[in-house]
Structure 1
């Protein structure tokens, strides 16, 4: 009897762990797919694909500092503006061989993830959240890469 209870307990534990790993694997794939929809949507000028990646309350932000004055300026863009910019062509003029899209999941805990995208001319840090079962980008902090010297 004790052996049967022990075997059932171990079986339950293993099933729980396996289910958690499947969910985790599925979530990792979904987090990356969301990031790909965002960056590839931009490069392809595909507004529907971009919109599918974004939460409607998205905030995309960057700080630009004038190298001559040292004065910093805060820039903000919402989901609607980003989708409209994508609809107008986005990064579609970037040659395919220059469309960098290195995606790295930096951290994930339950329904929150931080993703880094190294793109052709900038780096994005995405904050994604699982909303109603789907991963959506909530915030983006981005920085331009330095232009190569000529």
Structure 2
């Protein structure tokens, strides 16, 4: 009985450790996206995005779909932009996660909210989907 209890405790501990490790990896992926776009580091953004990622938003009531490749191609190496990003939330289960981030852009007086879907692909967390909206800064 004692051996069974020890094995259960070890199993639970390993699961918790894996979840913490995954959350840290998700955070790193999100920061690659946030900091890569702010600091003109397209390779960091490409590392965060899955190659098949698309971005979705509404413009004049219509759905607009933008390819992830088109998005990353607009990031000029070394060209910093006035973007202040922060992670608002991460929800994770097994190999799937969802994150909500906020990007303040004082230059154009907008605050963007990004909803990101992530999957753990071949052991690495990747953003597979991005939908976003914005509001005007006061």
Give the structure-1-normalised TM-score: 0.82
The match for 1:3 is: none
Matched, 1:87 2:82: no
**Equivalent residue for 1:74?**
63
TM-score by length of 2: 0.88
Alpha-carbon distance in structure 2 between the residues aligned to 1:140 and 1:132: 20
1:89 Cα offset (Å)? 6.5
In structure 2, stretches of 5+ residues that fail to align are 105-110
- Corresponding residue for residue 8 of structure 1: 3
Are 1:105 and 1:113, in contact at CA under 8 Å, matched by a contact in 2? no
1:46 equivalent in structure 2: 41
SS at 1:87 equivalent:
coil
Identify, as 1 or 2, the structure richer in strand: 2
Q: Does 1:133 align with 2:123?
A: yes
In structure 1, distance between residues paired with 2:125 and 2:81:
28
Matched, 1:109 2:99: no
Structure label with greater radius of gyration: 1
Q: What's the CA shift for 1:62?
A: 0.3
Aligned length: 132
Q: Is the 8 A contact 2:57 2:64 kept in 1?
A: yes
Q: Structure 1: 5+ residue runs without aligned partners?
A: 1-5, 66-71
Distance in 1, Cα, partners of 2:64 & 2:33: 19
Equivalences for residues 18-37 of structure 1 within 5 A: 18-37=13-32
- 1:55 paired with 2:50, answer yes
